[in-house]
Amino acid sequence: MLTRRQRERYARQMVIPQVGEAGQEKLLSSRVLVVGLGGLGSPAAYYLAAAGVGVLGLADGDSVSESNLHRQIVHGASTVGLNKTVSAAIRLRDLNPDIEIRTHPEHLTPFNATDIIGDYEVVLSCLDSMEARYMLNDACVASRKPLVEGGVMRFSGLVTTIIPGSGPCYRCIFPQVPATPTMSPAEAGIVGPVPGVIGSVQAMEALKIVLGTGDLLVGRLLLVDLMDGSFREVKVSRDASCPACGAL
């Protein structure tokens, strides 16, 4: 049963038939993990906390720096130097004291990933390292966890949703880890609205998974270019010989 205060807080989304009171109760009993509290994780975690995801996990081993603030909007001048999960938790607990924020102030590795993601029903990949992205894909596939993948560079970004066993995983779509390391945001540059859009789409995918409604971006790679203002979609399919999900 929702409290009077919860009914008021969530009124504008509960009025939508696809959410309703039953959907809000699903959200409040859901557990979602955001891995990476940078440009993508900032808007994603913001909207998930605001929507009333009951347990919101935050995982990141980095600390907030001044050069993050133009795009990593969950942080602020007063939290420069703090671990990003600690910084984000301060902001998100103020935004919504109704939910539980769990911090995992460490980088996910092949040794801790399975344990950490085990507590959650949906995982968001909001990373900027290719190695970490493949590692998280493999851990989610092995644990059969839905994973919402996002990536950005300069003015463009992509999103896809991975439901292990029922659509392609990240390795099916991008079989090769790039031989030459892709450029980091520090090298390539990034403008804030790009991860703002992509991270928001990731949050919406997670809400749809929890609510069990809508058409997920499974088998679909959404490509966004905000310099030419285009959104387009590429169909992607499973690779039967995929080393991560081929045996599922």
Place of tokens 């344990």: 115
For residues 214, 203, 226, 69, the Cα torsion angle rounded to the nearest 10 degrees is: 170
Q: Alpha carbon of 228 to those of 155, 156, 176, 224: distances in Å? A: 9, 9, 28, 9
What DSSP character marks residue 39?
Answer: T
Amino acid at 205: E
Q: Please, which residues bridge with residue 218 across strands? A: 161
Q: Nearest distance from residue 130's CB to Zn ion, in Å? A: 16
Q: Nearest distance from residue 115's CB to Zn ion, in Å? A: 22
Q: Which is nearer to Zn ion, 92 or 169 (CB)?
A: 169
Q: Which two tokens stand for residue 112?
A: 């801790």
End-to-end CA distance of the chain: 38
Q: Which of 11-19, 172-180, 195-203, 228-236 is the region at the interface with Zn ion (rule: CB under 5 A)?
A: 172-180
By CB under 5 A, the residues from 218 to 247 that bind Zn ion are: 242, 244-245
Q: How far, in Å, CA of 106 to CA of 84, rounded?
A: 10
Q: Nearest distance from residue 181's CB to Zn ion, in Å? A: 22
**Is 133 near Zn ion (CB under 5 A)?**
no
Q: Which is nearer to Zn ion, 75 or 171 (CB)?
A: 171
Give residues with Cβ within 8 angstroms of 163, minimum separation 6.
Answer: 146, 216, 218
Q: Nearest distance from residue 23's CB to Zn ion, in Å? A: 30
**Is 172 near Zn ion (CB under 5 A)?**
yes
When binding is defined by CB under 5 A, the residue of 169, 198, 224, 236 that contacts Zn ion is 169
Q: Which is nearer to Zn ion, 152 or 242 (CB)?
A: 242
Q: Which is nearer to Zn ion, 48 or 245 (CB)?
A: 245
Q: Nearest distance from residue 141's CB to Zn ion, in Å? A: 7
**Is 171 near Zn ion (CB under 5 A)?**
yes
Q: Nearest distance from residue 19's CB to Zn ion, in Å? A: 32
Give residues with Cβ within 8 angstroms of 222, minimum separation 6.
Answer: 158, 159, 160, 201, 231, 232, 233
Q: Which is nearer to Zn ion, 61 or 246 (CB)?
A: 246
Q: Which is nearer to Zn ion, 169 or 236 (CB)?
A: 169
Q: Alpha carbon of 71 to those of 66, 104, 174, 192, 193: distances in Å? A: 11, 22, 26, 4, 7
Using CB under 5 A, list all residues that contact Zn ion.
169, 171-172, 242, 244-245
